[in-house]
């Protein structure tokens, strides 16, 4: 079984700082991590490999420094890492990103064997779009299972997969054919620690590094900024509300009483609404 | 979505990016909203989008159309008829037995074919699990731009859709355009847009479109559907009163104080992102850009500092009350009422005070 896992190296969002004057992201000194959602995809892939044998290839598109995340993925137990890096890819929106990744997956297929499953995380923490998984699937003509909470069964001989997919108000149990693309939901598994052997192997591993040309990109105008139908025209910090919060003065009564009085003074109907809400009618 | 980090340094140059709409896209007109219905229920986000879509259509002086996809029968017809009460000028229906439950293959074909046939300039979908799954496939098939999770939609002077969304987990906002491709697609999360008033109107123009698929064409099969247990369901996004806690509570045990107040008020409880990351509260209770957006009549935030990522999820609340020990906490910039004190001490007192006020006895007092 050959499984490809697409990952993204992202800034650790908890530590992002915005420059107060220029409104740009201050990247200097911000540590990067593997997009946390991608780790659930990676672990799901590793579990299938452990069960059925085969290989897990991790793929990322990014600057040369994204190699760090690929090595990290190798320490968890991935077998091979492919870095897609080229200045032509810079500034890609989701459509241009899926073009590049789909092209690279075709090249991976030719070079290392056709994948049975392509995994991605549910979304990234920096873009938050959840569009890249479905986009790759569409470009490669793969069936897609998004928001997968659990993979119930994979039958490599019959070429089928059965999975539980989170949907509105419940879970769909779906069965489809391989090859397919799966986006994993968060908190569905826990990434393994990886053994000493994996750590040693990861440190020495040769990262397969492809430029656009190496990956077989035929039309450079479909990549990066040029290949992106969306244009970011303006980046800005949200404006402050005109008036700030009114602070409740509780110097001469209990704070809880002072607060409730302020609320009911502002919204006279609130008390009646709260009573009906509290009593369920 | 383009990467704002890369776009920002070149912002001056990018702003000059011209609109040069190719000839074959000039026939694309009108604003569409995908009406999401499953098992006979229309997701309320669809009506919220009709409200936003109506404004765009009026500005552009074009029609607003609802697109309903599903199995033949009462539910789909009713959803289409209902769309007129929320502002539609016309409705498209794609009804086929294979569209009984949501499956990506069939729904993607239904929506893509309808777009290619009738050519809308703007297509809006709810950013639900269904909407996101569908929008990504449709936009890639049509090779057009898609902006996810917008918090504001507008049309600019030359008639282009200006879609604003938070980025980097809500640290910044960016306005994104799809100038030279059609349709311009965007998704919006539930509760971000206000629910428009329903006005009784007759269903006038309904156009049916054939799907042209048979069950054998569709590879993915639905084996079963397991509805969420009622107890597991939270109505957080649509609750009238919400009480939420943040890191200021200090420990997972103190989160009980939030639940206690919520119980007395008949409210739903929620939390800020750090509590989910720490594992104190489950992710379905997270309020903010990457969690739920809420629009309650009353929102009480206890020990929440008010990062922008949280702010964008609660700004639609009628009355925001913030409890925080730090009088400089950003939450006081967007709360209406603030109280500078320790939530751990105030919450139990507040719970008791509300309990006394809201007892059946006080109900009689209000009635008299």
* pLDDT one-digit tens code per residue, B172-196: 789 999 999 999 999 999 999 999 9
Which range among A40-54, B255-269, B354-368 shows the weakest confidence by mean pLDDT?
A: B354-368
By Cβ distance, the residue of A129, A173, A244 closest to B223 is A173
Chain B nearest-CA distance from A204, in A, is 32
Interface of A with B in 23-52 (CB under 8 A): 23-25, 27
pLDDT at position A15 is 61
Q: β-strands B221-227, B41-42: how paired? A: unpaired
In this predicted structure, the answer to whether residue B329 has a pLDDT above a threshold of 80 is yes
The C-alpha atoms of residue A252 and residue A256 are separated, in whole angstroms, by 12
Q: Is A62 at the interface with chain B, CB within 8 A?
A: no
Pull the structure tokens for residue B266. 């008949």
Q: Are B190 and B149 in contact (CB under 8 A)?
A: no
**Cα A66 to Cα B366: distance, rounded to the nearest angstrom:** 64
Would you say residue B11 has pLDDT above 60? no
Chain A partners within 8 Å of B148 (Cβ):
127-131
Q: Which of B174, B264, B266 is closest, CB to CB, to A234? A: B174
Return the minimum-mean-pLDDT range out of A49-63, A141-155, A252-266, B244-258.
A252-266
A146 touches chain B (CB under 8 A): yes
What are the structure tokens assigned to A211, written together? 């430029």
**Among A24, A128, A278, whose Cβ lies nearest the Cβ of B264?**
A278
8 Å CB contact of B226 and A271: no
In chain A, which among 2-21 make CB contacts under 8 A with chain B? 11, 13-14, 16, 18
* CB-based contact A25:A171 (threshold 8 Å): no
Per-residue confidence (pLDDT) for residue B12, from 0 to 100: 35
Per-residue pLDDT at B365 exceeds 60:
no
Q: Say yes or no for a CB contact (<8 Å) between A245 and B332.
A: yes
Interface check for A274 against chain B (CB to CB < 8 A): the answer is yes
Please indicate whether, in this complex, the C-beta atoms of B140 and A246 are within 8 angstroms of each other.
no
CB atoms within 10 A of CB B333: 17
Reported as a single tens digit per residue, the pLDDT across A179-212 is 999 999 988 999 999 999 999 999 999 999 999 9
Confidence of residue B308 (pLDDT cuts 50, 70, 90): confident
The helix/strand/coil state of B211 is coil
Q: Count the Cβ atoms, other than its own, within 10 Å of residue B138.
A: 27
pLDDT at B230: 63
Q: Do A260 and B181 touch (CB under 8 A)?
A: no
Q: Under an 8 A CB cutoff, do A172 and B132 touch? A: no
User: Per-residue pLDDT for A171 more than 60?
Assistant: yes
Of the candidates A13, A27, A167, which has its C-beta nearest B5's C-beta? A27
The 10 Å Cβ neighbour count of residue A106 is: 15
How many interchain CB pairs under 8 A, A with B?
325
The average pLDDT across A85-111 equals 96
Contact B247, B303 (CB under 8 A): yes
**CA separation for the pair B356, B352 (Å, rounded):** 6
Q: Which of A98, A238, A264, A281 to mutate to test binding with chain B, by most B CBs within 10 Å of its CB?
A: A238
Read off the pLDDT of each residue in A128-149 and give the average, rounded to a whole number.
96
SS3 B364: helix
* Cβ pair B133:A273 closer than 8 A: no
Q: Is A209 helix (H, G, I), strand (E, B) or coil?
A: strand
Tens-place pLDDT, residues B203-254: 999 999 999 999 999 999 999 999 987 655 678 999 999 999 999 999 999 9
- pLDDT value at B77 more than 70: yes
Residue carrying structure tokens 């990322």: A60
Task: Write down the residue that tokens 């504001």 correspond to.
Answer: B152
Give just the sign of the alpha carbon dihedral A139, A142, A144, A150: negative
- Asked if the Cβ–Cβ distance from A262 to B337 is below 8 Å, we say yes
pTM: 0.90
* Residues B2, A162: C-beta atoms closer than 8 Å: no
pLDDT (0 to 100) of residue A16 = 64
Instruction: List the single residue in A with minimal CA-CA distance to B44.
Output: A168
Q: Does B356 lie at the interface with A, CB-CB under 8 angstroms?
A: no
Mutate to test the interface with B, among A160, A230, A246, A247 (most CBs of B within 10 A): A230
| Contact predicate B135/A131, CB 8 Å | yes
Digit-coded pLDDT (tens) for B276-294: 888 899 888 999 988 899 9
- CA–CA dist A212, A191 (Å, integer): 31
Q: Does A279 contact B219 at a Cβ distance shorter than 8 Å?
A: no
**Percent of chain A with pLDDT strictly greater than 90:** 75
CA distance B204 to chain A (A): 30
How many angstroms separate the CA atoms of A166 and A201, rounded?
Answer: 36
Q: Which two tokens stand for residue B101?
A: 């439950």
Q: Hey, is the C-beta of A178 within 8 angstroms of any chain B C-beta?
A: no
Find the CB nearest A256 among B11, B265, B346. B346
User: In angstroms, what CA-CA distances link B306 with B165, B272, B301, B310, B333?
Assistant: 18, 9, 9, 6, 9
pLDDT band at B98, cuts 50/70/90? very high
Strand partners, B69: B94
What interface predicted TM-score (ipTM) does this complex get? Answer: 0.91
* pLDDT of residue B328 exceeding 50: yes
Reported confidence tier of residue B358, pLDDT bands at 50, 70, 90: confident
Which run of H or E residues covers position A36? helix A36-52
Of A29-43, A67-81, B47-61, B85-99, which gets the smallest average pLDDT? Answer: A29-43
Instruction: Give the distance from residue B297's alpha carbon to the nearest chain A alpha carbon, in angstroms.
Output: 8
- Residues of B within 8 A of A275 (CB-CB) are 358, 362-363, 366
Query: How far is C-alpha B223 from the geometric centre of its chain's CA atoms?
Result: 29
Mean pLDDT, to the nearest integer, of B306-333?
92
Minimum-distance CB partner of A167 among B108, B129, B336: B129
Q: Does B63 touch chain A (CB under 8 A)?
A: no
- Which regions of A117-214 does DSSP assign to beta strands (E)? 117-121, 143-155, 160-167, 170-177, 180-184, 208-210
DSSP β-ladder status, A55-61 and A2-6 = parallel
Give me the pLDDT at residue B67, please.
Answer: 98
- Tell the burial category of A43 from Cβ atoms under 10 Å away from its Cβ (0-12, 13-18, 19+): buried
């Amino acid at each position: 079984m050959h499984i490809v896992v697409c990952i993204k190296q992202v800034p650790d969002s908890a530590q992002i700082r915005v420059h107060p004057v220029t409104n740009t992201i201050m990247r200097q000194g911000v540590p990067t991590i593997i997009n946390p959602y991608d780790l659930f995809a990676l672990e799901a892939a590793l579990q299938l490999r452990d069960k059925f044998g085969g290989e897990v290839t991790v793929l990322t598109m990014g600057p040369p420094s994204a190699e760090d995340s690929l090595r990290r993925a190798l320490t968890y137990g991935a077998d091979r890492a492919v870095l897609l890096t080229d200045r032509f890819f810079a500034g890609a929106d989701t459509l241009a990103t899926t073009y590049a990744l789909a092209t690279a997956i075709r090249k991976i297929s030719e070079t290392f064997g056709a994948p049975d499953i392509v995994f991605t995380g549910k979304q990234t923490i920096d873009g938050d779009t959840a569009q890249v998984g479905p986009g790759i699937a569409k470009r490669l003509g793969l069936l897609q299972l998004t928001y997968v909470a659990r993979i119930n069964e994979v039958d490599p001989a019959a070429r089928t997969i059965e999975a539980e997919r989170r949907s509105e108000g419940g879970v769909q149990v779906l069965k489809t054919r391989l090859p397919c693309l799966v986006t994993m939901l968060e908190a569905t598994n826990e990434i393994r620690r990886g053994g000493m052997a994996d750590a040693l192997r990861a440190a020495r591993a040769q990262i397969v590094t492809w430029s656009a040309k190496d990956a077989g990109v035929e039309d450079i105008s479909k990549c990066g900024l040029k290949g992106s139908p969306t244009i970011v025209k303006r980046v800005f910090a949200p404006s402050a509300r005109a008036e700030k919060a009114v602070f409740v003065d509780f110097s001469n009564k209990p704070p809880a009483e002072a607060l409730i009085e302020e609320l009911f003074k502002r919204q006279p109907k609130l008390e009646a609404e709260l009573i009906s809400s509290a009593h369920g009618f | 979505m383009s990467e704002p980090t890369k776009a920002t340094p070149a912002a001056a140059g990018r702003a000059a990016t011209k609109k040069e709409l190719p000839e074959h896209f000039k026939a694309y007109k009108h604003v569409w909203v995908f009406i999401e219905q499953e098992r006979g229920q229309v997701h309320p986000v669809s009506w919220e989008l009709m409200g936003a879509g109506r404004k765009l259509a009026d500005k552009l002086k074009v029609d607003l159309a609802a697109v309903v996809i599903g199995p033949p029968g009462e539910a789909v017809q009713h959803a289409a008829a209902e769309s007129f009460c929320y502002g539609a000028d016309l409705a498209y229906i794609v009804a086929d037995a294979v569209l009984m439950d949501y499956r990506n293959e069939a729904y993607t074909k239904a929506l893509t074919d309808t777009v290619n046939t009738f050519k809308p300039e703007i297509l809006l979908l709810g950013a639900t699990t269904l909407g996101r799954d569908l929008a990504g496939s449709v936009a890639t098939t049509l090779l057009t731009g898609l902006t996810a999770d917008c918090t504001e939609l507008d049309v600019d002077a030359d008639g282009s859709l200006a879609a604003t969304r938070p980025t980097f987990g809500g640290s910044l906002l960016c306005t994104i355009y799809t100038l030279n491709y059609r349709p311009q697609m965007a998704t919006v999360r539930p509760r971000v847009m206000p629910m428009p008033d329903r006005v009784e109107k007759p269903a006038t123009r309904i156009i049916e479109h054939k799907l042209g698929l048979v069950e054998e064409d569709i590879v993915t099969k639905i084996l079963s559907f397991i509805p969420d247990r009622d107890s597991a369901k939270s109505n957080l996004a649509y609750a009238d009163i919400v009480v939420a806690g943040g890191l200021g509570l200090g420990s997972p045990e103190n989160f009980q104080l939030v639940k206690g107040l919520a119980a007395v008020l008949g409210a739903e409880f929620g939390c800020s992102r750090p509590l989910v990351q720490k594992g104190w509260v489950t992710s379905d209770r997270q309020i903010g850009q990457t969690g739920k957006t809420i629009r309650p009549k009353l929102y009480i935030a206890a020990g929440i500092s008010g990062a922008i990522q949280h702010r964008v999820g609660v700004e639609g609340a009628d009355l925001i009350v913030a409890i925080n020990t730090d009088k400089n906490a950003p939450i006081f910039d967007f709360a209406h009422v603030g109280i500078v004190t320790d939530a751990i001490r105030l919450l139990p007192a507040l719970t008791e005070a509300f309990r006394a006020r809201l007892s059946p006895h006080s109900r009689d007092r209000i009635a008299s």
